[in-house]
Structure formats: structure tokens, C-alpha cells
Amino acid sequence: MPPLIVAEKVQVAFPTAGPVLRDVTLGLAEGDRVGVVGRNGDGKSTLLRVLARELEPDAGRVTWRRDLRVGYVDQSDVLDPEATVRDVVVGDAPEHEWAGDARTRDIVAGLVPPDVAWEARIGELSGGQRRRVALASVLVRSWDVLVLDEPTNHLDLDAVVWLAGHLQQRWPAGSGAVAVITHDRWFLDEVCTTTWEVHDGTVDSFEGGYAAYVLQRVERDRQAAASEARRQNLMRKELAWLRRGAPARASKPKFRIDAANQLISREPPVRDGVELTQLATARLGKDVVDLLGVEVDLPDGRPVLRDIEWRIGPGERTGILGVNGAGKSTLLGLVTGAVAPSRGRVKRGKTVEVAVLSQSLHELDDVAEERVSDLVGRQRATYVAGGKELTPGQLLERLGFRTQQLSTPIKDLSGGQRRRLQLLLILLAEPNVLILDEPTNDMDTDMLTAIEDLLDTWPGTLLVVSHDRYLLERVTDQQYAILDGRLRHLPGGVDEYLALRERQDQARDFASSAPRDTVVEEQSGLSGAERRAVQKEIASVERRMERLAARVDILHERLAAHDQSDYEGLQTHTEELRTVEDEIAHLEERWLELSESLD
């Protein structure tokens, strides 16, 4: 494919950080979908700023195709606080123009929250809302290349899935290009066909998304006899999980590396679930927290949570899903005791000690002047992880702190370093129930892998609220969702949640488009609004059918690879396959009904 952007021997240095990029040569071509990974501070954002014409390199050359249009989304927005959402997203375009454009309507529906008024001023919005509006304002315009720096920040799971689909379909195959930094590993796998790893001033290119990158990186480290044994072991463990626990992702690479697969065969499962449950039961007993007929109302009487029946057991690892405002924080407050139920009862075990890793970094403000080593030194002298006794310093090393950083004042730590320090202090306090509230904020993929490795050995009950699908599937064994104020178990995991959310949206769209004085079935001539609603549902049904068809292929592969003497396992896969095929049949019927209504 012809190059769109070419960087040759690019060098960038900063007075305080020194050289960040050294003699980097790379290109971005038509059809490229590039994910950029690497440790925080290694130059990922600097590289993207150079490609987006936002930063002039100190040396080297960058060339862009003539008349190339590059859209850039930074981590921080520069929106005018006095402008309205309408001003930022569509400018002064008349409503009939932008509302008549299918892509603009889809972007607004996918990113601008329903509770954000079209005429609301930017200065009145929360940080997350501003981020969504800034992203929408770029996507509605026409670009040849999109350069996106952490676009999934502040997006809920539904919006992350929407953004992935938008980038996949934005240009015809083989045209346009994307370079994106994100710590969302599911997103990297879903969108990217190439991965750039930025490290030590250089950029290494790998074919494929995150799973393929991990596979090749393990092989690279093996061939180079890497001295970073701890880091290599983490990536081997990550690879083993990708191949065993996430076959949909691991099947994407179109190649097979025998040496790496030999490593996998010797790698034990990421967690010994039986042993961890036994340890958790010994620390907690059989009772942790029970929510019995619990309901919570707002001060004005409106319900937030209804009819909650939930028994949290020792050693359980549970992910909590839900859109922003669904009641996830309220549910966690019931578990910690910070929220009292309006009705029903909360029963806690006598030995329960809950700790929360919250989204706020202000918890360390009181110790901002202290050095890391002094603060950690006041905690426990040792910590047991995976049967091994570790000092706090060794724990800090596992979480990515270098020796020279131990003397750094806490106020000078980056956001990601503060998050890791928060987690370390919580673990050293030895709670037996741990709640992680959006733990991926400010983390790079390497640090997320290290934290997941540490959590694999943690013998307690774990509750995780996160929009990061990869993290949820990696560290939890079951998922629940808050839908319309009720807590629902998701045997089908995140895929089931997304299907339920899609049905909710379809029902709302169809209800809002139905004529008030006649039944829907009697429509003979649809109005423009009704026709758009039907077309939107048809597109939604088609996307769902595509995802389910891919799921059928995966299940067939699992059946073929499964031990044919394991009748129980075969039956489980067969039943799931039958369920998916039944849902496809139902969707096909719905598609026909909708199509006929447009005739």
C-alpha cells in the first residue's frame, strides 16, 4: 500500500527526560490499523504527536502525502468552555444537514451521552463527558488518517465496543489509517492489524493485535536470551492465558510459533482456583457479604437498585458491569457499608475486612511529601504471594518501581505510579475482600499485566468494576451486570451483557418511534423518523448476527479440539452452540420483519 506518512531517523529529546526517540524510522500506509504500546513515559504520545504534525522532531525527517488530512485526539482537550456541545460537534451546520448524515448520527448516538443536552456548555460537563464530546468532534469530520491518544479513556464498555466497530467500518478495506494508543487490550485486538512497541527510544513493529504481539514478543525474548527474567515470565504467563482462556483472541494470529507454544505447554494455569478458595475460606469463613432483598432509593424516592439478592462467597472473583449511572458505586457502597439499604438487609461475616482501590488519587495527598520507601517501610515487613515471602521493596519491583524511584517524594510520582502504590499499600494491609474501582486508569499494558499477575496469588474475595473487558475476563471468574436497577448474573460473560444492552437500546428505539394512536403492526407508510429507527435496528441486528456467526465458528473449533471422551464438556459446548444458533435464527426472523416494514 502507498505510504501516507513516513518518518526517517526521527529523534526527540526533552530537557528533563533526555532522549525519548532515537533514530526512529517507520511508515503508516493505506489500510494500516496500528496499536501503539509501551511503558508510560517511553515516548508513545511523543511519537503520535510527531506523526500528527503536533511536534517537530529535533532531528530526522517526516513526510506526509500531499493534501493528507490527519485527525488528532490528544489525552487532554482544548475545548472552549463557553461553546455548546452542538458548536463543538457539528459547528453551525443546519440540523437537516448533519441529522441527514448517517455517519454523523451514528457518532453522536455512540459517543454523546443521552443525559448531555445538545445546548449544554462545555464548561458544565464532567471530564468524561468532555472527553466524549472531543472525540466525537474529530470523528464527525473527514480524515485520511486518525491519530488517537487513549481514546477509550472515560468510555464505558458499550462506547468502547461502538468505537471499535466505527474504526473497523470507517473506511473501505485497504484505505485510511489509524494509529492509536490505548491500554485496552481487547480494543487493540479488535481493531489493530499491526502493533508498535515503543521502548528505550526505539519502535519495534509486530504483525497483528495484542495477542499476536504477546506471542511474538515471547519468542523475541526467548531468542535474545533476555536478562529480564521476571518480565519474560509475566509475558509467558499472559500468553498462556491468551491461548487457553481467550481462544477468540488467540485465534486471530495467522501464524504459529512452535518454540512459544512449547513454552505454553509447560506453563501452569494462571490461578489455582481451588487453593485460593481454600485459603480465602480459612481467612473469611463461609460468610462474606449477603444482600437480602435489598433496595436503594434516591432522596427524592426514585429507585436506584431493586430486589437485589446476592451472596458473595469466599474466594469469589466477580466483575461488575453497567453503564455510567447504573448504580455500580451504590452496589459497592452496600458491600463496604458506606451505603445503607432503603429496604432489605445486608449481612456481613464477622471476619470481613474490606479494602477499596478507588478511582481517586487524592488518598495519598496527606503523605505527598514522604518518600516511597519511608511510607512503605511503615507497613508490614513481608507479604506472601504465590507461596513466596516478599519484602515491600520486592513488591514495588514487581509493580514496576525502579530502585532510584524508592527515594522519590510521592507528590512527584506519575498517575500510574500513584495507582500502583495505592494498590501495594492496600495489599500490605491484608484485607480479605478487595474492591477495584476502575483500576486500569493511568496504567500501561505492561503494568496491567504485572498487577494481574499479583492478583492471581491474592487469596481473598475480589470485586472488580471496570470498563476494561480484557481485565474483567482475565482476573474474574464470573460477571454480573446492573440493568434497569436489578443485578443480573451473566453466565455468558461480557458477550451476554453486550447482547442484553443491545436489546435494551432496540426496545427503546422502537418504542420511541411507534405511533401513539395506532399499533406498530398497522404501519403502512412510515414517517422519516420511524424509517430511521427501523433502519437503525436493522443495522444493529446485522452487527449482532455477525458477532454470533463468529461465535459459532469458535464453538465449532472448540468442539473439534475438545477431548472426545469428555462427554460432559462436549455437551456443554454443544448446548452453547445450540443457544447461539437459536439466537441467530431469532435475529434472522426479526431482520425479515424489519425489512418487510420498509417495503
Q: Does the structure show a pLDDT above 70 at 39? A: yes
104-113, 131-140, 421-430: range with lowest mean pLDDT: 421-430
pLDDT at 95: 80
Q: Which stretch of DSSP H or E encloses residue 79?
A: none
Given a cut of 90, whether residue 102 has pLDDT beyond it is: no
* pLDDT tier for residue 542 given thresholds of 50, 70 and 90: confident
Dist. CA 468–CA 599, nearest whole Å: 41
Is the pLDDT confidence value at 32 over 50?
yes
Using the predicted structure, report yes or no on whether residue 235 has a pLDDT greater than 80. no
Question: Is 327 in contact with 406 (CB distance < 8 Å)?
Answer: no
Cα gap 13→20, rounded to integer Å: 5
| CB 201 within 8 Å of CB 43 | yes
- Asked if 460 contacts 283 with a C-beta cutoff of 8 angstroms, the reply is yes
At residue 523, the pLDDT reads 41
Q: What is the pLDDT of residues 293-307, one digit of tens each?
A: 999 998 888 899 999
Q: Pick from 4, 90, 2: which is nearest to 53 by CA? A: 4
Average pLDDT over residues 166-172: 94
Cell (9 digits) for 166: 466505527
Is residue 438 scored above 60 in pLDDT? yes
Residue 593 has pLDDT above 60, yes or no: yes
Higher pLDDT, 217 or 258: 217
Digit-coded pLDDT (tens) for 417-434: 888 888 888 887 888 899
Share of the chain above pLDDT 90, in %: 38
Highest averaged pLDDT of the listed ranges 137-141, 207-211, 265-269: 137-141
**Is there a contact between 240 and 264 (Cβ–Cβ < 8 Å)?**
yes
Q: Does residue 80 contact residue 122 with C-beta atoms inside 8 Å?
A: yes
Contact 419, 439 (CB under 8 A): yes
Write down all domains in the chain, each with its CATH number in brackets: 3-265 (3.40.50.300), 274-487 (3.40.50.300), 514-598 (1.10.287)
What confidence tens digit (pLDDT) does each residue in 236-246 have? 677 766 665 55
Phi, psi of 462 (to 5 degrees): -125, 125
pLDDT tens per residue across span 497-522: 998 888 877 766 655 554 444 333 34
Measured distance CA(78)–CA(151) in Å, rounded: 15
What is the C-alpha to C-alpha distance for residues 554 and 331, in angstroms, rounded to an integer? 34
The pLDDT value recorded for residue 597 is 75
At residue 518, the pLDDT reads 38
Nearest CA among 402, 401, 395 for reference residue 453: 395
User: How far apart (Å, rounded) are the C-alpha atoms in residues 60 and 267?
Assistant: 44
**Contacts for 136 with CB less than 8 Å, ≥ 6 apart:** 89, 107, 108, 111, 112
Q: Nearest to residue 590, comparing CAs of 510, 532, 495, 513?
A: 510
pLDDT of residue 590: 80
pTM: 0.72
Q: 279 Cβ partners below 8 Å, 6+ apart?
A: 315, 459
Residue-by-residue DSSP string for 384-430: EETTEEE-HHHHHHHTT--GGGGGSBGGGS-HHHHHHHHHHHHHHT-
| Mean pLDDT comparison of 243-247, 255-259, 317-321, highest-scoring range | 317-321
Query: Angle at Cα 514 formed by Cα 509 and Cα 516, nearest 5°?
Result: 135
439: helix, coil or strand? coil
**Least confident among 136-140, 254-258, 425-429:** 254-258
pLDDT surpasses 70 at 569: yes
Separation of first and last alpha carbons in the chain: 41
Which phi and psi angles does 480 have, rounded to 5°? -125, 155
Instruction: Give the model's pLDDT for residue 252.
Output: 42
Strand 343-348 relative to strand 388-390, pairing: unpaired
**C-beta of residue 460 within 8 angstroms of C-beta of residue 472:** no
Cα separation of 164 and 5, whole Å?
23
